């Protein structure tokens, strides 16, 4: 019976040692996972900040785009006005050419 008790005590001791080893492994793994989770959280924070920054840039670009569109509209309006003025000036020049040609022709007729 003493042999059985010693055998069982040895078995208990071995199982306790194995349990302690497993606990140590689990603690190590748990710590490793905690570090991995923290790294992922840190990376996520960086990504969130990057997204916020990029959204701000997008907002700035939208504002700049709208300003550019408005400026283009203003320039197109000014171009149309300038084109209208140019057409008016061309018409006036053509009228003056016709008048000059008539005067030259009339003065030639009077001289002859």
Task: Output DSSP code: residue 1.
Answer: -
Range of the domain at 68: 1-82
**For residue 88, is it within any domain?**
no
75 within some domain: yes
Specify the 3-state DSSP secondary structure of 112: coil
At 112 the pLDDT is 58
Whether residue 68 is contained in a domain is answered as yes
In a domain, 96, yes or no: no
Examine residue 95 and state whether it is found in any structural domain, yes or no.
no
Measuring CA to CA, how many Å separate 91 from each of 80, 97, 103? 16, 10, 18
Per-residue tokens: 90: 């061309």
Cα–Cα distance for residue pair 94/105, rounded to 1 Å: 16
Q: Quick one: pLDDT at residue 111?
A: 59
Is 91 within a domain? no
Question: Is 109 part of a structural domain of the chain?
Answer: no
* The pLDDT value given to residue 49: 98
Number of domains in the chain: 1
- The pLDDT profile of the chain, 112 residues, written as one tens digit per residue, is 888 989 999 999 999 999 999 999 999 999 999 999 999 999 999 999 999 999 999 999 999 999 999 999 999 999 999 999 999 999 999 999 999 999 888 888 775 5
Domain membership of residue 39 (yes or no) is yes
């Amino acid at each position: 019976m003493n042999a059985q008790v010693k055998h069982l005590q040895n078995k208990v001791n071995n199982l306790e040692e194995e349990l302690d080893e497993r606990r140590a492994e689990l603690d190590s793994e748990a710590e490793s996972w905690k570090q991995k989770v923290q790294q992922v959280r840190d990376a996520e924070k960086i990504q969130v900040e990057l997204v916020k920054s990029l959204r701000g840039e997008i907002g700035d670009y939208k504002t700049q785009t709208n300003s550019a569109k408005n400026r283009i509209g203003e320039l197109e309006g000014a171009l149309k006005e300038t084109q209208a003025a140019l057409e008016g000036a061309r018409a006036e020049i053509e009228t003056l050419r016709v008048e000059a040609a008539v005067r030259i022709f009339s003065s030639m007729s009077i001289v002859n």
